[in-house]
Amino acid sequence: MEVKFKFLYILFLYCLFGYEKHEYKIKSFGVPVAKCFVTISDTIYDNQISTLLKYEVKTLNIFNTFYPIKNEYLIIIDDNYTTKYFEKNTIQPNIQNYIKTESRDDKIYYYDTEYLIPSKTLNIFSLLYALVNESFNKVSYNKNMLEREGKFYFYSIKKADQKYILDLNPIDDDNGVIEHTDIFTWALFKSNVQRTITLNNNRIEKCLVKSGFLNFTAEYVYK
C-alpha cells in the first residue's frame, strides 16, 4: 500500500510541475512499426527535487494485430543521474514483464530481491538524458558501468560530430532480475549490435540499432 501511495504521489507532482513530451516513430527497414512517447518532468521524490522520465511504446497498424506490444518504463533520477525509482510494465506475445524498485536502508533494490542499483550508476534512460544535458566527457564517468534490470554492462561512447556510437559489453553471465526481457530492451543490449545516437538542437533526433537482419530506428517526429 505504501509503494502504491508513493507512486500516486509521484504522478500528482508530475502533473503539478508540468512536463515536456516528445514523440518518436520506430521503423524497421524503413517501415513504421511502433510509436514511442518520451515525457520528461521535474518532480519531488523523497523530499528531493528530481527528474521523472517516462517512455511509452506501442505497435502500429497491422503490427499491433499480429505482434502487439505495449511497453511503459518510468524512472526517477536525481541531479547525479542516480536511479531513485524504476518501474517497468511491458506486454508482448508470450512475455510480460513487471518490475519495480524499492528503497531499503537508503539503498535502491529491485522489489523483493537482493539486486542492488549502485549510486551514480546510469541505465539506458538516464544515459540518453545525460547525453542531451551534459558534456560528452561528463557522460563517460562513473566507471563506465551501465545497469539494466539488475544486469551490468561496461559501456563506451565514441563521438563523431553529432553522432554517438554506444558499445555495451556484459560484465558477467547473470541474467539480472528477469531472464526474458522485452523485445526492444533485448535488441538494444544483445551482442554484436551497432548502436548510433544522433543529437540535434539539444534533443535526440535519431537512434539506430542494427545487427544483421535486426534493424530498428527511432526518429524524432517534428510537429
pLDDT for 3-31, tens place per residue? 555 555 555 555 556 679 999 999 998 99
Torsion sign (Cα): 177, 183, 184, 187: positive
**Residue-wise pLDDT tens digits, 51-107:** 999 999 999 989 999 999 999 999 999 988 889 999 999 999 999 999 999 999 999
The cell for 175 is 541474467
Q: What is the DSSP letter of 181?
A: -
Is this structure's pTM higher than 0.75?
yes
Phi, then psi, of 62 in degrees rounded to 5: -65, -30
Nearest CA among 126, 204, 217, 123 for reference residue 164: 204
